[in-house]
Amino acid sequence: MSETNHVWRLRKRPIGEISNDVLSFAEEAIPEPNDGEFLIRLNYLSLDPTNRIWMSDMDQYMPPVELDDPMRGLVCGTVLKSRHPDYNEGMIVSGLGSWSDYQLGSPATMSPLGDTGPVAVVDAFSTLALVGPTAYFGLLDVGQPKAGETVVVSAAAGAVGSIVGQIAKIKGCHVVGLAGSDDKCAWINDDLGFDKAINYRTQNITQALVAACPNGIDVYFDNVGGDILDACLKLMNLKGRISTCGLISQYNATEAIGPANYAMILMQRLRVEGFIVLDYAERYPEAIAALSQWMAEGKIKVRTQVIDGLDNALETLKTLYTGENTGKLIIRVEDI
């Protein structure tokens, strides 16, 4: 065990794009667990679009990170010292922690990752801890697609979106994805089996959607909000469903943009439903079992982009909002 801890702390709330001075990175003492707690060594840190939400004080689904507190993150680590009877030294845990080498956990925040079988710990953590269940419940529970229906997903080459599209294909849907580069479009089309990919940066979004969705849209899985949401609203079928998963096009915006085609919700009797994956915590085993099986059968392929070094966390996080990331972003501190 190294003698020093490195901790990222929130110093400023971001306005617009994330700047380097919103977080500080400094050496600190390694904390000691109290009764009921354990100390973990960070192995992997998940970088997620929601990190930008937690940094801000916008209305959100859990309290924002307090100024000067360690930056919150989804973590996977190894128990080094424990003062909890159910958490032994060497156990691998995952859950909500912080951007720091060493940190305290408790059953309220972290749980054992369990046996990942033939799946490497980093892959189990990157796919099954958050983005897989998000895609699974957001599409199947909220979107409720039926075979033959048209499903459109935005940020389709991203961690959540790529899994959404593949589950929709498994369910027999016509699947159209929007992504921000030709390479990403080629991946979802050629490797993942989407029926059509649209480069929303180079194509006219509405025209491309009309061509790709000759029968209209039954389910729109929204990862981005903004212009793409508007274009999809216009093409929604009667009794269509919009699963509102995320609004990444708006996270850095200084002025909120509402959908201009809001009237379509009334005219087409749409159901628009937001969800947070944490609401499904008790049903995670169902999602993990289904996703693990589909992955083992080769029906779901995933991409993980691993970047080494906790010191690179802030620069790497920014790539989520520019589209430079190519898969689920994970910071590796020490492999398991």
Ligand X SMILES: NC(=O)c1ccc[n+]([C@@H]2O[C@H](COP(=O)([O-])OP(=O)(O)OC[C@H]3O[C@@H](n4cnc5c(N)ncnc54)[C@H](OP(=O)(O)O)[C@@H]3O)[C@@H](O)[C@H]2O)c1
Rule CB under 6 A: which residues touch ligand X?
A: 48-50, 130-131, 134, 155, 157-161, 179-181, 184, 223-224, 245-249, 275-277, 320-321, 323, 325
Residue placing its CB nearer to ligand X in the complex, 78 or 134: 134
Q: How far is the CB of 93 from ligand X (least distance, A)?
A: 20
Cα–Cα distance for residue pair 176/192, rounded to 1 Å: 11
Q: Which two tokens stand for residue 205?
A: 């979004």
Closer residue to ligand X (CB): 24 or 199: 199
Lookup result for tokens 């085609």: 261
Query: Beta partners for 331?
Result: 45, 307
Nearer to ligand X, 113 or 155 (CB): 155
Least distance in angstroms from the C-beta of 325 to ligand X: 5
Shortest spacing between CB 321 and ligand X, in angstroms = 5
Q: In whole angstroms, how far apart are CA 6 and each of 37, 65, 71, 100, 273?
A: 20, 18, 12, 6, 40
CB of 272 to ligand X, least distance (A): 14
Q: Which C-beta is closer to ligand X: that of 310 or that of 317?
A: 317
Distances from the Cα of 302 to the Cαs of 201, 215, 230, in angstroms? 23, 29, 28
Query: From the CB of 124, what's the least distance to ligand X, in Å?
Result: 16
Closer residue to ligand X, CB minimum distance, 77 or 177: 177
Q: What is the 3-state secondary structure (H, E, C) of 88-109?
A: CCCCEEEEEEECECEEEECCCC
Cβ contact 261:230 at 8 Å: yes
